[in-house]
Structure 1
């Protein structure tokens, strides 16, 4: 497989232009993921990985419970502000439409409502963790 250096450079430029930490490009059987992370205050590392698209990471399915998924890409927060009471805790009874988490995207705080009534069985993301569209954030029983 030939690596398209021009495409990788273009993806890296998008990272800087849009202040992203990760970007992924998929085309037929090729998947290119470019990401950078802060190791210290100002040192940045650029890593590039290519792999066939058949190696998609699957999250194991739960046998019981309903998965509530993130409606957008962003950063998940368990409470409205640092130190405040959390929206969701394991064992808490919730109603459909009740806020279970906030996903921040582009400096906008988006409240994520529960899609079902029930009891929270599992919280699948850490506070401050990046989430993808469609990623399971909690499981309600």
Structure 2
């Protein structure tokens, strides 16, 4: 079997582009899994290659307030703000919601999974863009 280095490089670039920790590609009898380690950067002997992910972080992202009730994604998939393109969004900043209300849909393997609110509150922040990939446990909205 010949290893396609370009495919591996492309998958590695997707890890950074979509802020993923792991990606898998399967085609017929070929299966390629690419993942990256999350390394704590407390040691000055750590190579600069490991520091590259920290340097690229957006300073605005670091300053965002995470106080409040965080509603997280229950699965890995693609987040959608509305039930279909052009439809009214489930939540908007400032909207009051109740526990159990759908706040977003996370699509995984062609299945649309409604994500319910875990508490009553007012939407303080929407943490993901429409159509953005999300990871398990990633905060998708914050409530006050």
Q: Tell me the TM-score normalised to structure 2 length.
A: 0.62
Give ranges in structure 1 of 5+ residues lacking alignment. Answer: 1-5, 30-50
Counting matched residue pairs gives 111
CA RMSD between the two structures: 3.4
Deviations 1:32-78 (A, max 9, x none): xxxxxxxxxxxxxxxxxxx549x677x64735311111111000000
Kindly state the Cα deviation for residue 17 of structure 1 after the two structures are TM-superposed: 3.0
Which aligned segments of 4 or more residues in structure 1 are displaced greater than 3 angstroms? 8-12, 25-29
Give ranges in structure 2 of 5+ residues lacking alignment. Answer: 12-23, 41-48
Q: Going by fraction, where is strand more abundant, 1 or 2?
A: 1
Kindly state the Cα deviation for residue 27 of structure 1 after the two structures are TM-superposed: 9.3
SS in 2 for 1:81: coil
2:104 pairs with 1:68 = no
Query: 2:109 aligns to what?
Result: 106
Kindly state the Cα deviation for residue 15 of structure 1 after the two structures are TM-superposed: 1.7
Q: Going by fraction, where is helix more abundant, 1 or 2?
A: 2
Distance in 1, Cα, partners of 2:34 & 2:110? 19
Query: 1:15 aligns to what?
Result: 25
Deviations 1:80-138 (A, max 9, x none): 01111110100100001110000000000000000110000110111001011111100
Kindly state the Cα deviation for residue 10 of structure 1 after the two structures are TM-superposed: 9.8
Superposed counterparts of 1:49-88, under 5 Å: 51-52=49-50, 60=62, 62=65, 64-88=67-91
Distance in 2, Cα, partners of 1:119 & 1:28? 35
